[in-house]
């Protein structure tokens, strides 16, 4: 891990300092409400790294408190270096292999020299199961993306993770002063979006044309933000790759996780927890095996997120959502077969074992029909319940409410026989990093990749991802139909044949044997 940290430090590391002598490149400076920030230029792209989007960082007595608004500041500050990452599980996300700090609520801005007025803005929210990740991940260096699409601005934001961002505390004897602790990560994201809304015009961006965009937990976050009170005023569109509103838990599940953590640490109160350093908290949370998801608390998130969509809570937000063909095969590959078997056994004991007999029979029937290696049956059913069925359900509920939804199904495969078209495999495509082949195993077809990025940008610009023949990299028009509950059309992102199709022809979800699992959120 230290080797990776040093490489990240070499690439992006350092510490931003105030500039008090007036010696800086004024052409690379942007005046914001909370200070003037001076970026660095790479070719024709200026990058502003490590801009704080809060007035005070969540350290000391502000641990587990809601993010604090920025205040006016006439100072001038370097924006040369990425901030430290939020405390997170470093076992599976590069962003969490960097140095950790609770002083972590910062964002990065990528803009080109292109003089287009009021550029559309794409705000990236990273994934990592709500427990890991960070903006310093080289995958999320957006210089190649903005070089290809100089008429958009990209912002990448950090937020609190795991026990720092999603720990239920209100049930403890002194927990009344921490009413937001279970959903702080979502509130951090909202505060970052507020900063973008108030300051992005100074960078040349259009605050009224913001698309939030994320993958996995980041995609789930994007799908949740429309139903977080107060967030919709800051964006008008969202792109959610392999993440939906199912990735949540109940208050009871949150309290149970906290109680296990308290037992491991020997703590009784929040006051006790405040004395524990971040790394020890992180280690203890790993010991109790509780996953820190956002919480359906009835205040920051609705108690029924699906009903919120069905009832039109997000109908004014245009959404683009999708999933990968073999989502969970990524985890089989990442965990190793033994690690995967252990994970499956634990999930089945916790969740599957408690399904009603008739529902369990449906799932078992589905699994019996799965072909391939022994792990594939479990991989397929968890792919369905965690990612694939929720993608289709959010499309259904948004359409039912009269909102607009574009849905995709990503199918290119890695040459790795286990990975295939696994979770997150599309990231190298959408971020224009063909050199990152750890998951893909190869660079995908260049024209396909350019087309997919063009669709994402077109959606951010116009609210429709369709491309005319002149806009399409291969010179052929790509008409992407809206999802509707009758024809259920999706765009199949096949490496050599991007085309719309009815869900019934592609058979993305098993409507009888897996779709119902979405009511259990994460099986």
pLDDT given for residue 288 in this prediction: 66
91 has a pLDDT exceeding 80:
no
What H or E segment, with its residue span, contains residue 366? helix 357-368
- Using DSSP, state whether 467 is helix, strand or coil: strand
More confident residue, 29 or 8: 29
Return d(Cα 57, Cα 500) in angstroms, integer: 46
Average pLDDT, the chain: 95
| Residue 345: CB atoms within 10 Å | 11
Distance CA 452, CA 434 (A): 13
pLDDT: which is higher, 98 or 318: 318
Asked whether the CA dihedral 18, 24, 28, 31 is positive or negative, the reply is: positive
Secondary structure class of 363 (helix, strand, coil): helix
pLDDT at 223 (0 to 100): 98
Per cent of the chain over pLDDT 90 is 88
Segment 189-210 mean pLDDT: 98
For the chain, list the domains and their CATH numbers. Answer: 1-197+242-297 (3.40.50.1820), 304-523 (3.40.50.1820)
Contact between residue 86 and residue 164 where contact means Cβ atoms under 8 Å apart? yes
CB 482 within 8 A of CB 459: no
Locate 213 and state its tokens. Answer: 């965009």
How many percent of the chain have pLDDT more than 70? 99
pLDDT digits (tens, 9 = 90+) for 442-483: 999 999 999 999 999 999 999 999 999 999 999 999 999 999
Lowest mean pLDDT among 110-119, 122-131, 285-294, 459-468: 285-294
DSSP H stretches of helix in 425-514: 427-430, 446-462, 503-506
What's the pTM? 0.97
At 522 the pLDDT is 82
For the stretch 170-184, pLDDT in tens is 999 999 999 999 999
Beta carbons within 10 angstroms of residue 77's beta carbon = 23
Tell me if 236 sits within 8 A of 209, measured CB to CB.
yes
Separation in Å, CA 449 to CA 343, 410, 412, 430, 454? 33, 12, 11, 7, 9
Per-residue pLDDT tens for 342-394? Answer: 999 988 888 888 999 999 999 999 999 999 999 999 999 999 999 999 999 99
CA distance 59 to 274: 10
For residue 289, the model assigns a pLDDT of 67
Q: Of 402, 213, 182, 387, whose CA–CA distance to 300 is shortest?
A: 182
pLDDT band at 1 (very low <50, low <70, confident <90, very high): low
Nearest alpha-carbon partner for 35 in 49, 53, 56: 53
Strand partners of residue 324: 410
Decide if 407 contacts 315 (C-beta within 8 A): no
Q: How far apart are CA 50 and CA 56, in angstroms?
A: 14
**pLDDT surpasses 90 at 285:** no
**Dihedral sign for Cα atoms in the order 472, 203, 128, 231:** negative
Among 503, 520, 501, CA closest to 511:
503
The CB-side HSE value for 139 (13 A sphere, CA atoms) comes to 24
What are the beta bridge partners of residue 85? Answer: 100
Query: What gap in Å lies between CA 515 and CA 263, rounded to an integer?
Result: 37
Alpha helix locations (H) across 478-521?
Answer: 503-506
Rg of the Cα atoms in the chain: 22
169 closest CA partner among 247, 250, 229, 259: 259
DSSP E strand stretches across 60-167: 76-78, 106-112, 119-125, 153-157
Q: Give the mean model confidence (pLDDT) for residues 67-89.
A: 95
Place of tokens 């087309």: 451
Q: Any residues with CB less than 8 A from the CB of 195 and at least 6 apart, and which?
A: 34, 51, 53, 70, 107
Rounded distance between C-alpha atoms, residue 293 and residue 300, angstroms: 13
**How far is the C-alpha of 104 from the C-alpha of 293, rounded, in Å?**
19
pLDDT category, 5, cuts 50, 70, 90?
confident
Which residues carry out catalysis? 216, 327, 423
pLDDT at 290: 77
* Number of residues that make up the chain: 523
Closest CA to 66 of 159, 172, 171: 159
Spatial distance between the Cα atoms of 136 and 4, rounded to a whole number of angstroms: 11
Query: Residues 67-71: what's their mean pLDDT?
Result: 97
Q: How far is CA 212 from the centre of its chain?
A: 9
Q: What is the pLDDT of residue 439?
A: 85
């Amino acid at each position: 891990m230290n080797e990776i940290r040093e490489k990240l430090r070499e690439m992006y590391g350092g510490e931003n300092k105030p500039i008090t002598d007036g010696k800086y490149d004024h052409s690379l400076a942007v005046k914001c409400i909370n200070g003037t920030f001076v970026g660095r230029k790479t070719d024709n792209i200026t990058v502003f790294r490590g801009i704080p989007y809060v007035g005070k960082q969540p350290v000391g007595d502000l641990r587990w408190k809601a993010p604090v608004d920025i205040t006016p500041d006439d100072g001038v500050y370097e924006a040369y270096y990425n901030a430290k990452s939020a405390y997170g599980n470093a076992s599976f996300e590069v962003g969490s292999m960097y140095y950790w700090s609770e002083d972590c609520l910062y964002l990065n801005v990528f803009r080109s020299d292109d003089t287009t007025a009021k550029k559309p803005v794409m705000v990236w929210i990273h994934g990592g199961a709500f427990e890991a990740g960070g903006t310093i991940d080289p995958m999320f260096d957006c210089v190649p993306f903005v070089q290809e699409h100089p008429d958009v601005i990209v912002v990448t934001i950090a937020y609190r993770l795991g026990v720092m961002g999603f720990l239920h505390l209100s049930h403890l004897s002194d927990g009344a002063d921490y009413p937001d602790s279970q959903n702080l990560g979502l509130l951090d994201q909202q505060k970052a979006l507020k900063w973008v809304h108030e300051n992005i015009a100074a960078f040349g961006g259009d605050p009224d044309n913001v698309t939030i965009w994320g993958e996995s937990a980041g995609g789930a976050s994007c799908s949740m933000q429309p139903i977080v009170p107060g967030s919709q005023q800051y964006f008008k569109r969202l792109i959610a790759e392999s993440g939906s509103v199912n990735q949540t838990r109940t208050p009871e599940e949150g309290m149970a996780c906290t109680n296990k953590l308290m037992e491991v640490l020997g703590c009784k109160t929040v006051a006790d927890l405040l004395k524990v350093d971040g790394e020890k908290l992180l280690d203890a949370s790993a010991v109790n095996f509780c996953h820190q998801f956002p919480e359906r608390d009835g205040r920051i998130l609705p108690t029924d997120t699906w009903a919120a969509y069905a009832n039109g809570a997000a109908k004014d937000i245009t959404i683009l959502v999708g999933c990968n063909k073999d989502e969970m095969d990524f985890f089989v590959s990442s965990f190793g077969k033994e690690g995967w078997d252990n994970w499956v056994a634990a999930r089945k004991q916790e969740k599957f074992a408690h399904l009603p007999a008739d529902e369990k029979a449906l799932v078992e029937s589905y699994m019996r029909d799965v072909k391939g290696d022994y792990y594939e049956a479990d991989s397929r059913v968890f792919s369905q319940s965690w990612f694939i069925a929720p993608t289709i359900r959010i499309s259904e509920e948004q359409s039912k409410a009269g909102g607009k939804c574009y849905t995709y199904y990503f199918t290119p495969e890695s040459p790795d026989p286990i990975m295939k078209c696994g979770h997150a495999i599309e990231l190298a495509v959408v971020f224009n990093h063909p050199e990152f082949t750890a998951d893909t195993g190869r660079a995908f077809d260049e024209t396909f990749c350019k087309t997919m990025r063009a669709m994402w940008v077109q959606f951010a610009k116009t609210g429709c991802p369709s491309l005319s023949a002149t806009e399409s990299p291969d010179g052929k028009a790509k008409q992407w139909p809206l999802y509707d509950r009758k024809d259920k059309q999706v765009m199949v992102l096949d490496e050599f044949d991007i085309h719309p199709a009815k869900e019934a022809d592609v058979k993305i979800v098993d409507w009888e044997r897996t779709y119902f699992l979405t009511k259990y959120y994460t099986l």
